[in-house]
Amino acid sequence: MPTPTARVDQARLAKLAREAAANAHCPYSNFRVGAAVLADGKIFTGVNIENSSYGLTLCAERSALAAAISAGAKNITDIAVCCLDAKPDSGLSQLVPCGACRQWFTDLAPEARVYIDGLDQVFTVSDLMPTPFRI
């Protein structure tokens, strides 16, 4: 995948992730998460969708990536994540995507920039997953 060069409006992408989070289905954790990805110039959103069989729960990040891939997107350049119900004093470890989502980033968007709503730092996928699983 080519290295992304065009800059996306980080605040706009974070806003869309925040808006998406309001639609999350999380009756067990009550922790709404939204994600927005920029792929091939289009934005795709996703939310966390919990299931009573916890292992079948779908994270917002994977939901958004699946929407992009399902629409035929090839070049995912930017990913924004919003943990709508995170406490103001939440540490970084409570805001960043889980390991499964990081592995999806590695496989589907290895050169993407990752934005966490509420943080000024821009992460690379390798910042978040320095030693991913590879075949």
What's the gap between Cα 26 and its chain centre? 16
Confidence grade of residue 7 (pLDDT, cut at 50, 70, 90): low
pLDDT computed for residue 4 by the predictor: 43
pLDDT tens figures, 20-53? 999 999 999 999 999 999 999 999 999 999 999 9
Residue in the block written with tokens 């995170």: 86
Q: Which residue has the higher pLDDT, 134 or 101?
A: 101
Indicate which residues carry an active-site annotation.
Answer: 61
Q: What are the Cα distances from residue 115, in Å, to 28, 36, 72, 94?
A: 26, 10, 23, 14
The CATH code of domain 10-128 reads 3.40.140.10
What distance in Å separates the CA atoms of residue 61 and residue 44, rounded to the nearest whole number?
A: 10
User: Quick check: 1 pLDDT over 90?
Assistant: no
Q: What are the Cα distances from residue 107, in Å, to 23, 80, 94, 110?
A: 26, 17, 23, 6
Determine the residue type at 88: P
What's the whole-number average pLDDT of the chain? 93
